[in-house]
Amino acid sequence: MDIVTTWYGWEFLLRWFHFLAGITWIGVLYYFNFIQTPFFGTELGGSAKSAMTRGLVPSALWWFRWGAMFTFLTGWLIVIGKWHTGTGLGDPYMTRILTGGIMGSFMWFNVWFVIWPAQRDYAIKSAMQVAEGGDPVPGTPEKGALAGRASRTNTLYSIPMLFFMGSASHLQTLNTGTNDTVYWIIALALILLVELNAVIGTGARQKYLASVSGTIHAGLGLTLVLYLVGLFVNTA
């Protein structure tokens, strides 16, 4: 009965639910970015877009946003539990987990406050109105572009996020020094710049988000840069 009578048992259950919710969330995220969006860009996909936006997309977005919510909540409950059991900010494990967790939190924010409102109030609503013989909702293309950039940014973030989550227990040589302040200044600046560029950046600076391959390469690049920052700053 240790699984329900000890913190370690509850932590395991939280991790289990965290994995289940996270797989659901990221799975739908990858479906949107790797499958659905490219399909909508084809001749067949273009003809099916309205029907899919009205029928399939709302269901996919339900799993998408609630997967994000439960991943976010269980993740931070695990962090709070670690904090209360003595794993503080100076601990290398906490540094790695929080690096991934901060990117995951930006991803959660993008889902609930950028992607979902744009889809609900513009893309889906507009498709419904047009199907009923009405006019599109004004501003739908602009909001759709914003949601697309936020979704691609989440795909970008997911690559280093998963790297740092996994490294917390399986890459003990990362972030083992005492220069966490320098590390966090650099890491937070880089992570925030990626988010701001998606939301308010110009077209030229957002070019890497225009394709699946560009997004993946940018995610791998951010992973490498954050890894090197953690490696060299903490061994300096």
Q: What share of the chain is helix, strand, coil (3-state, %, to 5)?
A: 85, 0, 15
DSSP symbol at 204: T
List pLDDT tens digits, range 108-131.
Answer: 999 999 999 999 999 999 999 999
DSSP symbol at 31: I
| Rounded Cα distance, 221 and 108, in Å | 21
User: The whole model's pTM is what?
Assistant: 0.93
Please give the pLDDT value at position 82. Answer: 86
DSSP SS3 for 71: helix
Please give the pLDDT value at position 174. Answer: 65
Task: Find where tokens 């273009």 sit.
Answer: 46
Q: Which ranges constitute the DSSP H helices of 42-121?
A: 43-84, 92-110, 116-118
Which parts of the chain sit beneath pLDDT 50? none
Q: Are 67 and 28 in contact (CB under 8 A)?
A: yes
Q: Which ranges constitute the DSSP H helices of 177-235?
A: 180-200, 212-233
* Tokens at 104, concatenated: 């995951």
Sign of dihedral through CA atoms 42, 43, 46, 51?
Answer: negative
